[in-house]
Structure 1
Amino acid sequence: MSTADIAIIGAGAVGCAAARRFALEGAKVVLLEKGADLLSGASKANSAILHTGFDAPRGSVELACMQEGRREYLAIRERMNLPLLETGAIVVAWSEAERAALDGIEAQAIENGVTDVRRLTAAEIRLREPELSRSVLEALLVPGEHVIDPWSPFLAYLIEAKTQGAELRFSTEVLGGDFDGEVWRLSTSTGEVRANAVINAAGLYGDRIERLLLGDASFEIRPRKGQFVVFDKAAAKLVRSIVLPVPNERTKGVVLCRTAFGNVLVGPTAEEQEDRTRATVEEATLKGLVARAVEMVPALAEVDVTAVYAGLRPASEEKGYRIRVEAERRWISLGGVRSTGLTASLGLAALAVRIYSEIGQGHAAAKDPVWPKVPNIAEHLPRDWEQSDHGEIVCHCELVTRREIEIALDGPVPPGDFGGLKRRTRAGMGRCQGFNCNARLASLTAGRFAAPLAKDEAA
């Protein structure tokens, strides 16, 4: 059995970014994910906002990683065919108390290096967002906040990691392990894994992984549920910017914004719960989100809701990221990464590499690495269905072609379940939520997934 340089536990946003970065640094990487596909846990329900860090805690690890991650994303996105929907954001004051709070938010943004922010009067807001409620008083414009595809970047990161020799092991749960002073021996549901060092990027289970392998936990995960409502594509013309509330100590609050897929999203809520696996939606809460969205943009009252969903964020008992380094045991935990993890993931990966180098580990970085391009699934850029030779349209709501589905299924990191296929193609995610295309998708994916879309009646 060969020994990896790095075992990364968790294939969420942070784990995928870390796998890519360590592989590019020349390390032999094995990525362990108990789910059937990448982004099987908290990361699949991210809100897809590329943040500037304007409102992050001053001098925090979170701020540094967000801004480093943002810079790297912008530097590599074109080479990987990753979209950017340039929207900007407005932090909106609906009351005099919120208007007074804008002074502090503006000052914090400038201190955090986001110096292009500026105030908007009610009249200026109406020019920018003509459908926004007339009750708005003032806003802070943050031009650099944008919307991206919430899933394709991490697929691209894993493809690049794999081209550099990383081993990706899905449906692999870590069950135990020990460190003998030289090598970690991890017991998993698919066999033993040996590695010289461990990166804990287990998200909602980060504290449990610490306790399992180190004997104690340096933080406590307190799952925070966020429910979302997605409006139909007709809503896209009603909202141009990311509309942010004045945040409080506990949450950034409910956001209203376009998505890269041509819809408008409102959410998330912030509800603490003990369950780490199930994120339910509640009718009363969803109605409240719709009401809040209509309160902000009255014309949304005439637009249908396409989908609702909920996700869990790996919040902890403290607000900041939870970084634990055990140099003698060659261990790094990247925990407590909440709603800013999409932006910060590349920065956290770079931080982990620096820590790894400081504790005596280093490798020869890859020369002339391959830059994989992932298929575009963003609505504002050319899609496969627009090509003259697009062939069969399988999902008519999202205009997904059979060619796109086959490319995903036969790709270097193929989906491990139906959720993974949806995140790679958007199939089944539209107005009918798969009612019209699931039978065809079941046929195209027969024999591909451990949990098939359709049961074999002869079985």
Structure 2
Amino acid sequence: MTETVAGDSLYDIAIIGGGVVGCAVFRACVLAGARTVLLEKSGDLLEGASKANSAILHTGFDATPDTLEASCVQRGYALYRELCVDMNLSVVETGAMVVAWTEDDLAQFPKIIEKAARNGVTVRRLDARETREREPALAGDVRGAVLVEGEHLIDPWSAPMAYARQAILNGGTLIRQARVERGVRREGVWHLDIAGRPAMQTRTVINCAGNYGDLVEAIARPSPFRITPRKGQFVVFDKTAHDLFRTIILPVPTALTKGVVVTRTVFGNVLVGPTAEPQEEREFPTVDHDNLEALRKAAFRIIPALREHDVTTTYAGLRPATQFSDYQIEALKTEGWITVGGIRSTGLTGALGIAEHVVTLYRDRFADPAPLENVALPQMPNLVDELPRPWMQPERGPIACHCERVTEKEIETALKDEVLPTGTLGGLRRRTRCMMGRCQGFYCTRRVMELAKAHLPGLVTPIGENQRGDGRDV
């Protein structure tokens, strides 16, 4: 159920943080048989680090072997491939190439291939001719590549929404606008103070708070890690560039970052990024001209034909980096607490593997409930251009967003959803693609606001009305 909970309810598990990892853990805990509530401080899910990523389903070929991250990414990849068909989630099969431009890059290939083998991922080395044959649009001085056929593209928002939806359909509770401010543990029960709401009681807390993970951790103990958000800026090229190439183009990675990726998106654009910039601000990533211009130049260097295509938009996201290279996941038995921190750029792929690991910790340290039977499966609406979409249907009704071909019915369905209704305008965009196209909402915003105003009170001000309500523009 969503948004309804009695103040004196006692949960088995309270999860703090509704990003992709929190949603996956929510699903896993509910299906494991635990009475679970997900607490999200914002008005909708995926409002933090999870709203901005490169949307790649990773094999884990380049993860540090024998780490928790490597095992969770590999397991998450396998679990996603198992359940995506049942939930109508996308996988656009593209493969990826780690591309070499210099002799130094080529010298790294044996290490990349060896690491992939240690991670159980089969890769193949291509010479310059084979690389150009696969992707003719690459710059002519390409020296070779390592082909990773299992790397693919997915919809980065429908997947975590599906995890949360399945949890709710099977008895889980979601509470949005529920910022946990403090907590105290008495006689084996956590009493969590939530801003503007009754205190929440739970036997176990799972910290999935992303960029606020170290601050939330301080509720239970002095945090053993510190979050220093790592900003990643992205450039999005117009849909006219989509057919220039198909394979995800990866750079030879460094110790700090996987580097600048050039990839298509499942929504029909071309994405370039991210940068890797540490910052103290945890919530508001900014973009700047110099870094964005550097991304454009990097894209032109890799695929020269991109010079002929316009940039649709730019954006930035924050990854919850810590001083440690691996995930920070730990069960504190005496505190009734599980820490899930430091989940950086691999969180989208690793989420299901992380969730499975967390449930194992819960069963080992706290309780062993009976798994649910007759589990309900959600069916997610398709947002991917590679598959049929509602606008293609003869009885589609009016289109609200012409750039992204989003129908009014899709927007209304997201707003009126009885299981997981949209809570913010950003949430509406992530559920439908509205206002995300070439015009960035310039033409469709008015109609979208008209459709949304009854469902998002306080968030949508009808255009042309002022605070006095007399109908005159100010």
**TM-score, structure 1 normalization:** 0.98
Q: Distance in 2 between matches of 1:128 and 1:291?
A: 23
1:18 correspondence with 2:20:
no
Q: Secondary structure at the match of 2:108?
A: helix
- Identify the residue that residue 33 of structure 1 maps to in structure 2: 40
Residue in structure 2 matching 1:5, options 7, 12, 24: 12
- Identify the residue that residue 254 of structure 1 maps to in structure 2: 260
Q: Distance in 2 between matches of 1:355 and 1:452?
A: 40
For 1:17, give the aligned amino acid: A
- Identify the residue that residue 5 of structure 2 maps to in structure 1: none
Residue in structure 1 matching 2:434, options 401, 406, 427: 427
Note if contact 2:331-2:365 (Cα within 8 Å) is conserved in structure 1.
Answer: no
- Identify the residue that residue 51 of structure 2 maps to in structure 1: 44
Residue 287 of structure 1 and its aligned partner are, at CA, apart by 1.0
Residue in structure 1 matching 2:390, options 384, 393, 404: 384
- Identify the residue that residue 350 of structure 2 maps to in structure 1: 344
Q: Distance in 2 between matches of 1:139 and 1:368?
A: 46
- Identify the residue that residue 404 of structure 2 maps to in structure 1: 398
Q: Distance in 2 between matches of 1:264 and 1:438?
A: 23
Runs of at least 5 residues in structure 1 that lack an aligned partner in the other structure: none
Residue 320 of structure 1 and its aligned partner are, at CA, apart by 0.9
Q: Distance in 2 between matches of 1:42 and 1:191?
A: 27
Equivalent residue runs for 1:48-67 within 5 Å: 48-67=55-74
RMSD value, Cα: 0.9
Note if contact 1:218-1:324 (Cα within 8 Å) is conserved in structure 2.
Answer: no
- Identify the residue that residue 334 of structure 2 maps to in structure 1: 328
Note if contact 1:221-1:315 (Cα within 8 Å) is conserved in structure 2.
Answer: yes
Q: Distance in 1 between matches of 2:104 and 2:443?
A: 49
- Identify the residue that residue 108 of structure 1 maps to in structure 2: 115
Note if contact 1:181-1:329 (Cα within 8 Å) is conserved in structure 2.
Answer: no
- Identify the residue that residue 3 of structure 2 maps to in structure 1: none
Q: Distance in 2 between matches of 1:79 and 1:17?
A: 16
Q: Distance in 1 between matches of 2:449 and 2:409?
A: 15
Runs of at least 5 residues in structure 2 that lack an aligned partner in the other structure: 1-7, 470-474
For 1:124, give the aligned amino acid: E
Residue 413 of structure 1 and its aligned partner are, at CA, apart by 0.5
- CA distances 1:151-193 after superposition (whole Å, capped 9, x unpaired): 0011111110001111101111001011114111000012211
Equivalent residue runs for 1:1-400 within 5 Å: 1-115=8-122, 117-189=123-195, 190-211=197-218, 213-400=219-406
Q: Distance in 1 between matches of 2:46 and 2:86?
A: 22
Q: Distance in 1 between matches of 2:457 and 2:274?
A: 31
Residue 241 of structure 1 and its aligned partner are, at CA, apart by 0.6
For 2:51, give the aligned amino acid: K
Q: Secondary structure at the match of 1:113?
A: coil
Q: Distance in 2 between matches of 1:135 and 1:421?
A: 43
For 1:330, give the aligned amino acid: G
Q: Distance in 2 between matches of 1:339 and 1:167?
A: 27
Note if contact 1:69-1:348 (Cα within 8 Å) is conserved in structure 2.
Answer: yes
- CA distances 1:173-229 after superposition (whole Å, capped 9, x unpaired): 001011114111000012211111010000000000011x11310100011000000
Q: Secondary structure at the match of 1:119?
A: strand
Residues matched between the structures, number: 457
For 2:39, give the aligned amino acid: L
Q: Distance in 2 between matches of 1:27 and 1:56?
A: 32
- CA distances 1:55-110 after superposition (whole Å, capped 9, x unpaired): 10110000100011111100000110101110100000111001000110001001
Q: Distance in 1 between matches of 2:319 and 2:401?
A: 30
Q: Secondary structure at the match of 2:174?
A: strand
Note if contact 1:118-1:142 (Cα within 8 Å) is conserved in structure 2.
Answer: yes
- CA distances 1:305-333 after superposition (whole Å, capped 9, x unpaired): 11100000000011111112211111111
Q: Distance in 2 between matches of 1:453 and 1:137?
A: 52
Q: Distance in 1 between matches of 2:438 and 2:411?
A: 19
Q: Secondary structure at the match of 1:197?
A: strand
Note if contact 1:323-1:332 (Cα within 8 Å) is conserved in structure 2.
Answer: yes
- Identify the residue that residue 443 of structure 2 maps to in structure 1: 436
Q: Distance in 1 between matches of 2:100 and 2:276?
A: 20
Q: Distance in 1 between matches of 2:437 and 2:147?
A: 31
- Identify the residue that residue 472 of structure 2 maps to in structure 1: none
Residue 144 of structure 1 and its aligned partner are, at CA, apart by 0.3
Q: Distance in 2 between matches of 1:222 and 1:200?
A: 17
- CA distances 1:233-267 after superposition (whole Å, capped 9, x unpaired): 11111121110000011110010001010111000
Q: Distance in 1 between matches of 2:170 and 2:12?
A: 13
Q: Which shows bigger deviation, 315-324 or 195-204?
A: 315-324
Q: Secondary structure at the match of 2:112?
A: helix
For 1:13, give the aligned amino acid: V
For 1:78, give the aligned amino acid: V
Percent identical among aligned pairs is 49
Note if contact 1:442-1:452 (Cα within 8 Å) is conserved in structure 2.
Answer: no
Note if contact 2:321-2:342 (Cα within 8 Å) is conserved in structure 1.
Answer: yes
